[in-house]
Chain A
């Protein structure tokens, strides 16, 4: 890699790290097109590097978010097996289903979630007792306002089903599951937006590990490129949570809706064969 490409990779990964860590998306959806379309790197190398980047994004951001008490670790631990199982099932189902139709259906679901998240107010059921802060129902202190926010997790079953579906989609379409899990937690389960994105960040690393190990053992992770991506992403993933600290949950939710629209547009383009590899 020459110097200019290296600088480009670092910059692109830092950007992916910032956005991924702010919205709980991992950032693979950004890293792959930036590396392949933007910098002309081979798709094969980009996939391995992007998976490593997703782990870096999750590890870097979750380290901060967990420290700030934003991550609902118990909820994350319950959703993780469902997501990972879903992604294995998805990898098998992908062989039998039409990718384009699938991508279009998925794009439509994302667009609907975007509309919902943009228009409707957040419906969090506040936990009544202070001592509820220790189990699935939890609480956090909003660093922007200094306010202590308690919330209840409901619809756990529907949420677990959504995580399975999220994993499924990521297995079939190569899109990160965070894009489904964040709206599922926020809209269905009544988890405040900041907790939803932080918890999604926390989970993504574990979901990516299986794929990363398979690629690594088979020599499909190019070390120099992957390490450069990881370092860039780490830098970004340490900036994203700081930005979130200054952002209101409501604003973060509206930005997330815009990200959903952008991704569903990308998927529709891909489905019509205009652009590959997002």
Chain B
């Protein structure tokens, strides 16, 4: 049964590494553009992010990279929940969902 565990490790590690790589690439691209054409550094309200991205603002690209980084741990909780569900380890599916619920609660209060 050791293979089952290695599969969990493999998927989670894949999600974490992909998230890291993606966010690093976007942040580096944004920072390079920012150095080439410096502008104001203040943070962009999240509702303006899509528009600013369309207009190619370097700070918006950096902010997108940070957003990707923040999403990565959530993505790995979801990935774990899926693997546990497929393996019918319902205790751990519940634990994964509880993590997501508590995070939602923390954001709400």
Binding site for B on A (CB under 8 A): 1, 52, 55-56, 58-60, 62-64, 66-67, 69, 71, 73-74, 77-78, 80-81, 84-85, 87-88, 131, 133-134, 138, 205-206, 208-214, 216-217, 219-228, 230-231, 234
User: Is the C-beta of B82 less than 8 angstroms from some C-beta in chain A?
Assistant: no
Are B99 and A81 closer than 8 Å at their CB atoms? yes
Across-interface contacts of B69 in A (CB, < 8 A):
52, 55-56, 59, 230
26 A-B contacts, Cβ less than 8 Å apart? A55-B69, A56-B20, A58-B73, A60-B20, A66-B12, A66-B13, A66-B16, A74-B92, A80-B95, A88-B106, A134-B1, A134-B4, A205-B73, A206-B99, A206-B103, A208-B73, A209-B103, A210-B102, A214-B107, A217-B46, A222-B42, A230-B27, A230-B66, A231-B24, A231-B27, A231-B28
Are B102 and A85 closer than 8 Å at their CB atoms? yes
Number of interface residues of B (CB under 8 A): 53
Are B62 and A223 closer than 8 Å at their CB atoms? yes
> In the complex, A52 Cα to B67 Cα: how many Å?
10
Per DSSP, chain A at the interface is helix
User: Is the C-beta of B53 less than 8 angstroms from some C-beta in chain A?
Assistant: no
Across-interface contacts of B20 in A (CB, < 8 A):
56, 59-60, 63, 234
> In the complex, A84 Cα to B9 Cα: how many Å?
23
Binding site for A on B (CB under 8 A): 1-2, 4-6, 8-10, 12-13, 16-17, 19-20, 23-24, 27-28, 30-31, 34, 41-46, 59, 62-63, 65-67, 69-70, 72-74, 76-77, 80, 92, 95-96, 98-99, 101-103, 105-107, 109
Are A59 and B99 closer than 8 Å at their CB atoms? no
